[in-house]
Amino acid sequence: MLRSAIIGTGAYLPEKVLTNDDLAEIVDTSDEWIRTRTGIRQRHIAADGELTSDLAVHAARNALADAGLGPADIDMILVATTTPDRTFPATAATVQEKLGITHGGPAFDVQAVCSGFLYGLATADAFIRSGQVRTVLLIGAETFSRILDWQDRGTCVLFGDGAGAVIMRAEEGRGDLSDRGVLATRLHADGRYADLLYVDGGPSAGESCGKVRMKGREVFRHAVVKLAEVTREVLDDAGARPEDIALMVPHQANIRILEATAKKLGLPPEKVHVTVDRHGNTSAASVPLALDDARRSGRLHPGDLVLLEAMGGGFTWGASLVRL
């Protein structure tokens, strides 16, 4: 059977770093207040004129180099983002143009907020396993700072900008847990919780992009339960056990959520990769940024079994089990 193997990863973070002390100068907060509640020390902020597509292209080029491929080898581009350059065209089409890809393969965006990369991974996997494409460039990219209310200390301290990318390619597998590639994925959504985490604008609702609004305690409570459930589902689907996992690479939203989810799965802290302290919550870019960081820091190696998970506004949530 066909499997979708991850053959390259890449990342990009804007040059500007905004520390907790920097934030304390513009909003009523402190480094201690932010660190003890979230685990975040700093985040990166896109420069004026630096677009989501620019971040995405940097990450894509790094992933292509890691895979030993060129733009002409890509059959399809997916960009998971909540902060597109424009309402349309899709940011993926802009990335396609900036990379110089002209053969006309599909390029489109995926919008599931912080779960967007997992939704994109499942979409790319389905295209590859159906035989429609062979090689996919999947990117999670955000300029989330553009939709923050910088006077709301409950949200502006949490988020940052960045991009991560993976190259996925079709490979033959045997159909069991020993295969390389995406082994199982589960996705969920429940729109009843939309008012707990949302943006108060949009082209249809208010002809503006709006700002992020969140009820943090409720989001935390639901996140821990739903992430633990979906990770168990995906392990069961693949016939794997928690102890088989080399590393969990979760959405980097809040250190407390990461720790609580790992505890419910029985995973020790050393099996959870953490970048939230350096990057903050980069929404759809979070998981691929952390995955690339785990590989390049030597925490992941070929053949390792990796558990990816994320939850975002909607609510949307999902998990995927991948062997590198």
* Residues tagged active-site: 114, 251, 281
- What DSSP state is assigned to residue 158? T
Residue type, position 297, single letter: S
From CA 80, how far away is CA 117, in angstroms rounded? Answer: 6
CB atoms within 10 A of CB 177: 14
Task: Give yes or no for a contact between 22 and 43, defined as CB atoms under 8 angstroms apart.
Answer: no
From CA 260, how far away is CA 280, in angstroms rounded? Answer: 18
* β-bridge pairing 197-199 and 212-214: antiparallel
Q: Is 28 left (phi over 0), alpha (psi -120 to 50) or beta?
A: beta
Task: Give yes or no for a contact between 82 and 116, defined as CB atoms under 8 angstroms apart.
Answer: yes
From CA 218, how far away is CA 189, in angstroms rounded? Answer: 16
